[in-house]
């Protein structure tokens, strides 16, 4: 993520809702929820947090519930996002992670 980890579900809901309201309707706004087919509930989200059309690159940020770490979910999600960005948006993807988050670092 390009932001500090959330400290509570309430903080996540408030921050994410504001993020959606602030960006809804913008032509360069890309945000998807991550949902498991078998439970039909969101377990995370992934967004383009910075779009640099001048160099045809995007930085993506994501969050995923702790119970779903180390299960290959983000690998599958990133594969689809990279395909979308390359084939539809015609850009490349940059990946960043918070240094203290070793799980994110090992994924990237």
> Please, what are the averages of pLDDT over each run of 10 residues along the chain (108 residues)?
75 86 87 90 87 85 87 90 86 64 54
| The predicted structure's pLDDT at residue 35 | 93
Taking the C-alpha atoms of residue 45 and residue 80, their distance in angstroms, rounded to an integer, is: 13
**Cβ neighbour number for residue 85 with a 10 Å cutoff:** 20
């Amino acid at each position: 993520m390009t932001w500090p980890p959330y400290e509570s579900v309430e903080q996540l809901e408030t921050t994410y809702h504001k993020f959606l309201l602030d960006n809804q309707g913008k032509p360069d706004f890309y945000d998807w929820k991550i949902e498991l087919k078998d439970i039909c509930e969101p377990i995370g989200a992934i967004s383009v947090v910075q779009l640099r059309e001048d160099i045809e690159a995007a930085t993506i940020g994501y969050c995923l519930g702790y119970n779903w770490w180390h299960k290959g979910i983000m690998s599958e999600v990133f594969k689809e996002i990279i395909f979308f960005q390359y084939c539809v948006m015609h850009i490349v993807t940059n990946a960043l992670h918070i240094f203290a988050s070793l799980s994110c670092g090992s994924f990237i």
